[in-house]
Structure 1
């Protein structure tokens, strides 16, 4: 099995990487159920924006993600 790197990343940076197409949920796994739920919600928002709005920007996506930071 290949080596793994454990890291922590802010929801906004993760959203930016997903929105820009540099990362997708299949590229990583969540280590706890709360993170999995947050990533699931984040992906739904970002992928919906990507599909429905050709001019969506990261700032548009993250306006809908403010509730993710409230859980901290």
Structure 2
């Protein structure tokens, strides 16, 4: 029997406020990064550590059309 995947509320909270620390989009919330930029990271490799994990999560959010979860009033875990 497979385990049910559940979102991690702590990661969700971090994604709501985490900002890009460098580059052209420095200071912009990770969830607000342009999709082509996040796809570029996917192709080139995400950075190590927490930033890489958060960017990879943003990629999954955008790839699955879940950006609405980060809009005001959206249902959250």
Q: Same fold (TM over 0.5)?
A: no
Structure 2 length normalisation: TM-score?
Answer: 0.41
Structure 1 length normalisation: TM-score?
Answer: 0.43
Greater share of helix residues, 1 or 2? Answer: 1
RCO higher in structure (CA 8 A, sep ≥6): 1
